[in-house]
Amino acid sequence: MYHHLFRWKSVAATVVLAAVLWCMTFYLPFGIFWFKISASALILAGLSLVLQPAKYLRFSLDWRNIGIGLLSAVLLYLIFWAGKTVSEAVFPFAAEQVGSIYGKGEGTSTWVIVLLLFFVTGPCEELYWRGYLQRQLMGRLGGFLGWIAATVLYAGVHLWSGNFMLIGAAGVAGAFWGAMYWRFKDISPVIISHSVWSTFIFAVMPVP
| 140-197: pLDDT as tens digits | 999 999 999 999 999 999 999 988 888 999 999 999 999 999 999 999 999 999 999 9
Output the pLDDT for position 40.
Answer: 98
| H/E element, 194 | helix 187-199
Amino acid at 60: S
Nearest to 194 by CA among 139, 127, 107, 135: 127
Model confidence pLDDT, tens digit, residues 94-146: 678 776 776 777 788 999 999 999 999 999 999 999 999 999 999 999 999 99
